[in-house]
Amino acid sequence: MGTSEAGAAKDPRAVLLLLALSGAALLTLCALSMAFGALSVPLDQVWHTLLGDAPSARVDTVIWSVRLPRTLLGLATGAALGLSGALMQALTRNPLADPGILGVSAGAAFAVVLSVGILGIGSVYGYIWFAFAGAFAASVFVYFLGGLGRSGTTPVKLALAGVAVTSLLFSLTSAVALTDPDALNRYRFWSAGSLADQNDEVLLRVLPFLAVGAVLALACAPALNSLALGDDVAKSLGLRLGLVRIQGVVAVTLLTGGAVAVIGPVVFVGLVVPHIARVLAQYAGIGPDHRWLLPLSAVLAPCLLLAADIAGRLLARPVEIQAGILVAFIGGPFFIALVRRRRLAEL
């Protein structure tokens, strides 16, 4: 029990209530996601269409072929990004960790564009393997770079290393995209991060990878509670740190690589959501138990992504603002506020 008691929740009923409320908010956003867009569909018509009683052929096509796959994609990829962010923050004990900030998303994006522009791979199932490889290579390189120097790895150094590697990789990605018209056309829209123009076949292809990554991430939760107490304490409790970190890296690679391959490098979801989950858990009188924080992050992250996607459809109708752009408007100031709270001595 040592690995779980370190961060045991004080009142599991409070967490279940919090998860239920978050789930209700997510269901509401799913309904709104299928109702709003260039064609507004009343909620009662959405419900009847899902039950097979569509008021018109146009509404039936919009709901089943466009809105439902888009909403399900937001659910899956949002949960993946939220889980990977919470897992990265726990593994590195770094509140600034996020797949977008630490270069994991940029590594996956660079590998995808490289496979499309150089190798001519055009299917998601083809270039998703490159996304995994790029995500893994970038995460390892950023961690190595952040650990250089006498002070070793610190949260701010790791974040700065991630920002530097992200900038470099995005420059290289743009250079590759400019050399190939097909890659450029795909990259211009995909790089902003969007749930649009995807079908259910794409989701079915990427879902197994996201599911395996989610299982691995959730399985790490008891060990993360002990790891939060420090490496020495975790070892004394019998935790095998190497295996936990390897499992965590594999989970982050699958979750981030799979999400980026489909919707593009959406940043800040994995940064903002785990902090919101901790604040909500604190107000609910719950301890920092990752067995609850990880599922809560997986529920709250799709809320943020779907809310941004819905807002993007409404703010500039009949055109859309990509969800990744609106998430960045929220996450950018949030990241700056977190950095300002870190002591300058950590540099």
For 74-98, the pLDDT digits (tens) are 999 999 999 999 999 998 888 878 8
229 contact partners, CB below 8 Å, separation of at least 6: 6
- This prediction has a pTM of 0.86
The pLDDT, as a whole number, for residue 342 is: 57
CA distance 332 to 327: 8
Q: Given pLDDT bands bounded at 50, 70 and 90, which one contains residue 335?
A: confident
The pLDDT, as a whole number, for residue 86 is: 94
16-63 pLDDT, tens digit each: 788 889 999 999 999 999 999 888 999 999 999 999 888 899 999 999
Q: Provide the domain limits for residue 145.
A: 71-346
The answer to whether the CB of 264 falls within 8 A of the CB of 190 is: yes
Residue 52 lies in a domain: no
Residue 190 lies in a domain: yes
Residue 39 lies in a domain: no
What total of structural domains would you count in the chain?
1
The pLDDT, as a whole number, for residue 10 is: 56
The 8 Å CB, 24+ separation contacts for 245-248 are 245/91, 247/216, 247/219, 247/220, 248/87, 248/88, 248/91, 248/216, 248/217, 248/220
Residue 115 lies in a domain: yes
CA distance 268 to 249: 19
Residue 293 lies in a domain: yes
The pLDDT, as a whole number, for residue 2 is: 43
Residue 24 lies in a domain: no
Q: Given pLDDT bands bounded at 50, 70 and 90, which one contains residue 196?
A: confident
Q: Which CATH number does the domain housing residue 185 bear?
A: 1.10.3470.10
The answer to whether the CB of 37 falls within 8 A of the CB of 260 is: no
Residue 145 lies in a domain: yes
